[in-house]
Each structure stands twice: as structure tokens, then as C-alpha cells.
Chains A and B, each alone.
Chain A
């Protein structure tokens, strides 16, 4: 099964909001700790190493081709 990048939540705003609120009132350090735990929990739930690698690649494209993508969009 390839990584799903179509919208899976009936109410995407709720999902985004839930994650944002998880960080409310936290220091950057605490936020980073929560994110690390969250990533591990979700990765285990997915339980598919190929899917995980695909997700990591998609996430890291932001850093690697960030500028390139911006240029293409313009």
C-alpha cells in the first residue's frame, strides 16, 4: 500500500487543531518531546517500514527541495 496523501479526515481542521492544541502552553523543548513521542506512536501504529520510509522522504523533501518547489510554484 503506497502512502496515502489524499485527505483522510472527514474534518481535517479538527485533526490539525488537535495537534496544535497538544502543544499549547508547552516550551519549545517540551513540544519537541511531545512530537518525538507522537511520531513514534504513529509510526508503530502504521507498522509498515516501507510506508514509514515514504512518509519520511515526503517530510524531508521540505528541507531538501524546499527552495526548488517554491520556485516551481511561482
Chain B
């Protein structure tokens, strides 16, 4: 798909080329293949992150990828606050944020006038920004660097799964390499092999959904420009009449441009640089840029019916696919990884029954539905399907000029926020709460001290020493009994400071209030007046023990 690449891209590729290496597993006879606990297939952001998470929990992981380098080109660029908090836990958050371009403001234009602007993180007191933009190849390179520090992970390039057989107690994989094929057995296989997943075909699962007819041209251009670091979206801009356009900044003076084309556009003609250049020159008002990447897409929104097929579990694009307007692809895949890693670890250790894994399907397939719904709505708004849809959109855009409700109906992409889970792992509230994250919702960050030992945010305290089940409690002087294997974070009186009172406010806390957090940072239960029996029951439930 690559049409034009600059020096920059070539340098990046060379830097992230990995060699195939023979592994002793390949010397074993076909009758006694190596036995592994977990094989992760696909070394993209999801597979890499999942492998790191499992390794940090003490699991040995074999990670296979059929390529020998990090994929170039224009793929994910927007990584959410939630993803950055996850990457903090995986030890790569700082690098991502240092390289990435931080943003939180978006503007929507209609014609040549601004309709409105939004700020995705309008409040202070969070360690991480709403989003960073970062080329996926940087994210992958940093994750691979981290993996090189983790002896638990055995990353095998140019290892392509060509056959899969589900057995009672394991999965048998046949793996093709430059030196021929070999077999391994794994207790669990996690398929993170992308939207065109071969493992999905091997288990015979379908991938149903909607294909959008309109085509979009995606170009990454290199230029020095004075545009602010904001997401700019146009409906019917003067430089691209009747269609939509998106401009977004990435590191290294690269800018992502999405241009909606008509559904009958000829991809071969449209993506020729000599045809793309005038469009973009009209958009930018100058011709002083180089192409990094040009491609043409038709977007699809689809998902697997079940994310679990026997001992093969699907995560990321292999399980669900969305259009890019909303940054819900890679970010939702990372949420899959953080949801799955702790559950799989517990099952492999025998700490929880296998059925805990079913909650991965329950929680993440619901999240996929939400992401698909949001993404479909955005794409439909950008490319109305009927003349009446177009008429309603026209009405919304014109009402947006003079009414607040109109602005709120304009849909230029609703950006990814963590899903809330309606899940059997949650214990419903028994007390009265006026706010704070409900069971099934993601924990909220807040400053906990000015700067004590580098620990300045609640997410740091949560991460410290490994992410396990955690009791977040607000002191009232009375001793709260600890639970076995559960970490304690205490706020106030002898515990961590709440200098701006933001922890208490964001958690609607009163003295004694206690939250039980899962290892992925989701709230499992909360109590105004916790008892040991109540906490134990909530913990058992969240661990899939009853």
C-alpha cells in the first residue's frame, strides 16, 4: 500500500528490523512438541502489551509474529489517557508521552467557519493527558524495547501460524519459519493478529458487520506548519467541497490528513501522489510538503460473535473492527489486553476457575458493541446514506451555528473513553452515592501528594508494586482490616495526602468510604461502611470464585 515514503520512514524501518532466530522448540520431534502456557499471536500494540502484562505477572509468554519488522505506514495515531495509564503500568508510558504530541482540544468547522471546539480533559489533576498522537511504529518499537528487558517473553519473528488444532487440554499450533515448520502446544492462544486474522479463519468464526461505501483517503505528510496541536475536522470545507476532512498532528512534523472521497472514486487513480498533492495543497494553502504515506480505505465496523473459541481468545482488531473516527481501534485493543491479562494469569495460576475468562468475552464484547455503535454513528454522520439523512445532517450543521444543542449533535467523531461494564464481576451498590465511579467503571486519577518519591498521582500508587486487587479507602480513624493478597491505598490520616481534595471529590468519599479496584483499575465494588464479610464477598465475586 505504500506509495511514497520519505527518508524519515526509511530510517524508522531500518531501526526496527528484527532478525529471525532459530529456537530449540524447532529441534523437537513432531510427536513431542514443546508445551507452553500462553502463545500470543501478533506483535502489534495489543499483542506486545498483553505479553508484557502477562510477563509482569510472572507468566512465560511465547509471542509470534509472521513479519520481521515493525509495520510502516499510517495506522493508529491517537492513544487515549486510558491507554497511557495502561502503558504506565507496563513501564513504557513515559517514553510514549515524551515522544508523543499531547492534545485535548478539537475544533469542528463547517465551510470556512468554526462551529465549536471541545476539550476532552477540561480539568487538572490527572497524570496523563486526554490523548497523545504517536505513530504506531514508535509505540511498537518502545514496547519491543520493553520486552527485551523481560526474559519471560520469547518473541519469535517470522513465525507464522499455519494450522491450529483445539485439543482437550491445549491448542496445537503448526508454525512456519524460514527454516521450515514446527509444532508447539499451548494451554491458551491469544490471537492478536489484526483485522484480517488468520486464526479467526482457522477457528471458523465469522466477522459480521457493516461496510461503509464512502472511501477515505489517508495521507501522512511531512511539513513544518503553524497549525496548533489540535484535532481539526471540517464538514464541507472550501478546499474539499461537499465532503469532510480531518487534520491532526503527529511527532516529527508529520500531519495526518483524512479526506472523504466519493464512493465511486477509483482507488488507483485517487492515491497517485500527483492527484493527491493538489487536494492537500488546497487544504494547507501551500505546496511545501512531502508524502510519508498515502492510502485509500473503505471503513468497516464488525465483530466476532464470540471472543473465546475453546482455548483460543481473540483481542484487538482480530475480534472487532471500527472506523478510525473516534480513536477506538488500538485503544479498545489495549483495553482488551488489560482486561484479559490479569484474568488469564489467575486462571493459569489456578487462583480462579476457567469461567473467569468468560467475563472477558462479556465485558469486552459489550465494549466492542459500544465502540461499533459510536463509530458507525460518526461515519454515518460524515457520509449520510440517504437524501433524508443528508437533509437532517444539513439541518444539524446549520442549527449548530446558532444553538448549543445543534453543536452537540454534530458528530465529527466521538473520541474513545473507557467503557463501563455491566458485569457479573461487579457487586452492585448497597449504599447511596452522589458521584464517583460506579462498579464496572474505570478508576479516576487524581493528585495524591505534591511529589513524594515520584509518586504524585493515584494511578502511580495503584501501579506501585504491581497491579493487583486494591482497596482504596478513605480514613476515618478506624482500622480497616486488610484482605489477603489485596493491596491497600489509604487516603488521609497517616495514609497518602489528598492535597487538592480531588481524590475525595472524584470518589464522592466520606470517612470510611472504600473502593475495591480490580487489577485492571476497574471498580469491582464500593462501600460507605465496609465490613470484612462484604469486602470478601465482593472480592470473591470479582475473582470469579462464586
Binding site for B on A (CB under 8 A): 32-33, 36-37, 39-41, 44
- Decide if B298 is an interface residue (CB 8 Å cutoff): no
Q: Are the C-beta atoms of B394 and A36 separated by less than 8 Å?
A: yes
Contacts of B395 in A (CB 8 A): 33, 36-37, 40
Complex-state Cα separation, A37 to B399, whole angstroms: 7
CB neighbors of A among B377-405 (8 A): 388, 391-392, 394-396, 398-399, 403, 405
Complex-state Cα separation, A40 to B406, whole angstroms: 8
Contact of B398 among A32, A37, A39 (CB under 8 A): A37
Between A and B, 12 residue pairs with Cβ closer than 8 Å are A32-B391, A36-B392, A37-B398, A37-B399, A39-B392, A40-B392, A40-B395, A40-B399, A41-B399, A41-B403, A44-B403, A44-B405
Contacts of B403 in A (CB 8 A): 41, 44
- Decide if B483 is an interface residue (CB 8 Å cutoff): no
- Decide if B409 is an interface residue (CB 8 Å cutoff): yes
Complex-state Cα separation, A70 to B405, whole angstroms: 38
Q: Are the C-beta atoms of B391 and A40 separated by less than 8 Å?
A: no
Q: Could you give, for residues 395-431 of chain B, a 1 whenever the CB lies within 8 Å of some chain A CB and a 0 otherwise?
A: 1101100010110010000000000000000000000
Closest residue on chain A to residue B406 by CB atoms: A40
Complex-state Cα separation, A36 to B392, whole angstroms: 6
Q: Are the C-beta atoms of A33 and B394 separated by less than 8 Å?
A: yes
Binding site for A on B (CB under 8 A): 388, 391-392, 394-396, 398-399, 403, 405-406, 409
Closest residue on chain B to residue A38 by CB atoms: B395
Contacts of B409 in A (CB 8 A): 40
Contacts of B405 in A (CB 8 A): 40, 44
Contacts of B391 in A (CB 8 A): 32-33, 36
Contacts of A39 in B (CB 8 A): 392
Complex-state Cα separation, A33 to B394, whole angstroms: 8
4 residue pairs, one from A and one from B, having the closest CB atoms: A36-B395, A37-B395, A44-B405, A36-B391
Contacts of A40 in B (CB 8 A): 392, 395-396, 399, 405-406, 409
Complex-state Cα separation, A37 to B392, whole angstroms: 7
- The smallest beta-carbon distance between A60 and chain B, in angstroms, is 13
Complex-state Cα separation, A41 to B392, whole angstroms: 11
Complex-state Cα separation, A28 to B399, whole angstroms: 20
Closest residue on chain B to residue A40 by CB atoms: B395
Complex-state Cα separation, A61 to B430, whole angstroms: 42
- The smallest beta-carbon distance between B77 and chain A, in angstroms, is 33
- The smallest beta-carbon distance between B544 and chain A, in angstroms, is 35
Complex-state Cα separation, A36 to B396, whole angstroms: 9
Contacts of B392 in A (CB 8 A): 36, 39-40
- The smallest beta-carbon distance between A47 and chain B, in angstroms, is 9
Most buried by A among B391, B396, B398, B403: B391
Complex-state Cα separation, A63 to B425, whole angstroms: 45
Contacts of B399 in A (CB 8 A): 37, 40-41
Contacts of B394 in A (CB 8 A): 33, 36
Closest residue on chain B to residue A36 by CB atoms: B395
Additional pairs, 9, CB under 8 Å, beyond known A36-B395, A37-B395: A32-B391, A36-B391, A37-B398, A39-B392, A40-B395, A40-B396, A40-B406, A40-B409, A41-B399
Complex-state Cα separation, A6 to B518, whole angstroms: 52
Complex-state Cα separation, A68 to B388, whole angstroms: 26
- The smallest beta-carbon distance between A49 and chain B, in angstroms, is 13
Complex-state Cα separation, A37 to B409, whole angstroms: 12
Contacts of A41 in B (CB 8 A): 399, 403
Closest residue on chain A to residue B396 by CB atoms: A40
Contacts of B398 in A (CB 8 A): 37
Closest residue on chain A to residue B394 by CB atoms: A33
Complex-state Cα separation, A39 to B393, whole angstroms: 12
- The smallest beta-carbon distance between B115 and chain A, in angstroms, is 15
Complex-state Cα separation, A33 to B398, whole angstroms: 10
Complex-state Cα separation, A37 to B396, whole angstroms: 7
Closest residue on chain A to residue B390 by CB atoms: A36
Complex-state Cα separation, A41 to B406, whole angstroms: 9
Contacts of A44 in B (CB 8 A): 403, 405
Complex-state Cα separation, A36 to B399, whole angstroms: 11
